[in-house]
Structure formats: structure tokens, C-alpha cells
């Protein structure tokens, strides 16, 4: 069993923010990134939480992540916004897009927010949930560095290209759906590598196209898509929406999220917010549908485990693998005695 360290959400946030400030990020940027990573860890998305801190810090220090990004937000059309992230963190760019985009969606009925020249955006669930909490329907897609081969081919072209959706539900928390188009998120493979553990069969292929349980070989090879050919078709759709539409690099051109050297990722994200408007029974209609599903024997609604994980984290704090906790602690206080 992996040894863990228990830490409160507030202490986790303070620790991570300290790392990013020490690594060169302005206070507001460090705050945005720390909030996103703690939220991801809270909901059980461990590949987007503490496991990312050392990589982010190294990329800040090397300049691969622009610590002083000069974001530019424009409104190219009445119902659309575009944010140039200037090769900085994705999180403050997403924050800026939502701050302007949610009022725009209420004004126009819909808002399309595109983010270009961006970086890893973590767990999409935390972003679309904010849209649903504002009473709107949210959809988000993102492209990531190449990891999935077109169906029938061996060489990766598409990223794991996640997609997320959230909707308000009357008298209940929002319904939030977040999935990558690989069988599992690539961050889980990286987390397994850092923990020195094998990955299950069926997650990935090595560089020769053979099944592997070695996370390092998997990272050098390709991830298996969900739904076989259908998964790669969806990855292509997201590639167009997140990359071509935002003016960002295609997944096959993007730099790594993990290494401090090499080209910047320069990936993109697209977010859509829809106002149900005069359909005053919208939230009730969604609840009726979800209640019908929940009443079926054996059925499980998406998000049940996520809600339970968040509730545990809010009550008891986080259980962080000890090796990651001590790594982050050292980054926050490099001169401290161990």
C-alpha cells in the first residue's frame, strides 16, 4: 500500500501556491494554478493534481511556461471571445474567458470562448462545473500533445483530447461529465511512472505497437482510444475545435506537458456556454431524466464517485502519496532541513 500524507485543502493550496511563486509565477497566476490543481486532486483526478507540480515548476524556471504571460482577450464576433494565453498557464486564461464569457452567454444566449497559445488545462470538470453553477450549460474541449494513433495506424497524431460537459439540475448539484478519448488519461500513466508502478493491460501500446504494462514504454508509444475507431474520430473532431479554431498547434506539433526543455505545447481549448433562457423548466426536465436513470436497477449516474471524493476531501482533507508530498514540500522550501 502506498504511504500517504494527509493535508487540508487550505494547506494544500497554500503549499502549491508557494511553489509556483517561488518558481517565478506572479501571485495571481500562482493562486489560479494552485486552486485548479487542488480541485483536481480533491475530485480524484490525481494525474492533474500534486503529480503535476514538479513539472510545472521546472517549466516555469526554464521559460517553457511564460511566467509573465501578457494575456489578450478580444471579442471577434458578438457571441465569441478569444484569449491569447501567450504561452503561459492555461488556468488564468480560462478564468479570464469565463469571467467575460458567462455574462456574454446571458446577454447573447450563447458564448463561444477560444483560448490559444495555451498549456495543460488539467481536469476539465472543474471549469465546466463553474458554468453550470452559474445556471448555464457548459461544453469544453482541449487538445493535448500527440498520444493516440489514427485507427489502423501506429504513429500518434491526436492527443488524448478531453471533452467535458456540465448542466444545472434543479434542487441538485450540477451534472458533470469529464472524459479523455484514451481509455484513461495520460496523466495516470505519468503518475504510475513517478510512483514506479506498472499500468494495467489495455491502457497503452509501446512504440512498436505492442501492448505494454510499462508506463515508460507507454509514454513513448500510444494510448488506446475509447470506442476503437469511434474514439479516434472524436479525437479528430476535437482537434479541429481546440486547435484549428483557436490558432494553436495540432497535437502532433505540440511540445510536451511534462519536460522542461523542448518546444512549448502551444495547445488550445474551446469552451461553449449556453443559456437555457426562457425554458424555465430546463433544470427540472434534466432532473426528471436523471431520476429515471437513477431508478433503474444497476444504473449509475456519471459523477457519483466524483461528488463522494469532493465531499471526503472537504471533510477530511487530501491523502497525497508521500513521495509527491515531500517533493512538493521541498520545492516550496528548498532550504528547509529534511
Task: Report whether 147 contacts 181 (CB < 8 A).
Answer: no
Write the burial class of residue 188 (CB in 10 Å: 0-12 exposed, 13-18 middle, 19+ buried). Answer: buried
User: b or e along 245-260 (b: 16 or more beta carbons within 10 Å of the residue's beta carbon)?
Assistant: bbebbbbeebbbbbeb
Reported as a single tens digit per residue, the pLDDT across 19-52 is 999 999 999 999 999 999 999 999 999 989 999 9
Residue 338 has pLDDT above 60, yes or no: no
Stretch 221-250: mean pLDDT: 95
Strand partners, 113: 81, 271
Backbone phi, then psi, for 82, in 5-degree steps?
Answer: -130, 130
The pLDDT value given to residue 59: 98
User: So what's the pLDDT on residue 230?
Assistant: 95
pLDDT in tens, 95-149: 999 999 999 999 999 999 999 999 999 999 999 999 999 999 999 999 999 999 9
Model confidence at 2: pLDDT above 80? no
Residue 280, pLDDT > 90, answer no
Residue 248, C-alpha cell as written in the block? 494553436
Residue 75 three-state SS: strand
Assess contact for 111 and 79: CB atoms under 8 A. yes
Q: Decide if 112 contacts 79 (C-beta within 8 A).
A: yes
Do 33 and 23 touch, CB atoms closer than 8 A? no
For 212, the enclosing helix (H) or strand (E) is strand 211-212
Task: Report residue 162: phi and psi, to 5°.
Answer: -70, 160
- The confidence score (pLDDT) of residue 38 equals 98
> Is pLDDT at 153 greater than 90 in this prediction?
no
- For residues 44 and 313, give the distance between their C-alpha atoms in angstroms, rounded to a whole number: 9
Conformation bin of residue 98: beta by default, left when phi > 0, alpha when psi is -120 to 50: alpha
pLDDT tens profile 159-204? 999 999 999 999 999 999 999 999 887 778 888 887 889 999 889 9
Residue of higher predicted confidence among 38 and 337: 38
Residue 336 predicted with pLDDT over 80: no
Give pTM, 2 decimals: 0.93
CA dihedral (196, 231, 253, 190) in degrees, to 10, reads: -10
279 confidence band (pLDDT: 50, 70, 90): low
Amino acid at each position: 500500500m502506498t504511504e500517504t500524507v494527509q493535508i487540508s485543502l487550505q494547506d494544500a493550496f497554500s503549499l502549491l501556491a508557494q511553489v509556483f511563486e517561488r518558481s517565478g509565477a506572479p501571485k495571481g497566476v500562482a493562486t489560479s494554478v494552485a486552486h485548479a490543481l487542488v480541485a483536481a486532486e480533491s475530485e480524484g483526478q490525481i494525474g492533474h493534481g500534486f503529480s503535476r507540480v514538479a513539472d510545472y515548476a521546472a517549466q516555469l524556471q526554464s521559460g517553457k511556461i511564460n511566467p509573465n504571460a501578457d494575456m489578450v482577450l478580444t471579442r471577434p464576433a458578438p457571441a465569441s471571445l478569444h484569449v491569447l494565453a501567450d504561452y503561459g498557464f492555461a488556468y488564468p486564461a480560462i478564468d479570464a474567458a469565463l469571467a467575460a464569457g458567462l455574462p456574454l452567454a446571458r446577454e447573447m444566449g450563447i458564448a463561444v470562448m477560444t483560448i490559444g497559445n495555451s498549456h495543460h488545462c488539467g481536469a476539465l470538470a472543474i471549469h465546466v462545473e463553474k458554468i453550470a453553477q452559474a445556471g448555464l450549460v457548459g461544453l469544453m474541449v482541449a487538445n493535448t500533445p500527440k498520444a493516440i494513433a489514427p485507427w489502423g495506424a501506429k504513429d500518434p497524431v491526436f492527443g488524448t483530447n478531453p471533452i467535458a460537459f456540465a448542466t444545472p439540475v434543479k434542487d441538485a448539484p450540477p451534472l458533470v461529465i469529464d472524459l479523455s478519448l484514451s481509455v484513461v488519461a495520460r496523466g495516470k500513466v505519468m503518475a504510475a511512472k513517478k510512483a514506479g508502478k506498472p499500468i494495467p493491460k489495455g491502457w497503452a501500446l509501446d512504440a512498436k505497437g505492442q501492448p505494454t504494462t510499462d508506463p515508460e514504454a507507454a509514454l513513448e508509444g500510444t494510448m488506446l482510444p475509447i470506442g476503437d475507431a469511434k474514439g479516434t474520430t472524436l479525437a479528430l473532431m476535437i482537434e479541429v475545435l481546440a486547435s484549428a479554431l483557436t490558432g494553436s498547434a495540432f497535437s502532433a506539433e505540440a511540445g510536451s506537458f511534462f519536460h522542461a526543455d523542448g518546444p512549448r505545447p502551444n495547445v488550445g481549448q474551446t469552451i461553449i456556454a449556453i443559456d437555457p433562457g426562457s425554458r424555465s423548466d430546463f433544470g427540472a426536465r434534466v432532473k426528471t431524466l436523471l431520476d429515471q436513470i437513477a431508478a433503474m436497477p444497476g444504473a449509475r449516474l456519471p459523477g457519483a464517485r466524483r461528488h463522494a471524493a469532493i465531499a471526503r476531501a472537504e471533510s477530511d482533507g487530501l491523502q497525497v502519496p508521500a513521495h509527491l508530498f515531500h517533493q512538493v514540500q521541498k520545492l516550496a522550501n528548498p532550504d528547509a532541513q529534511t
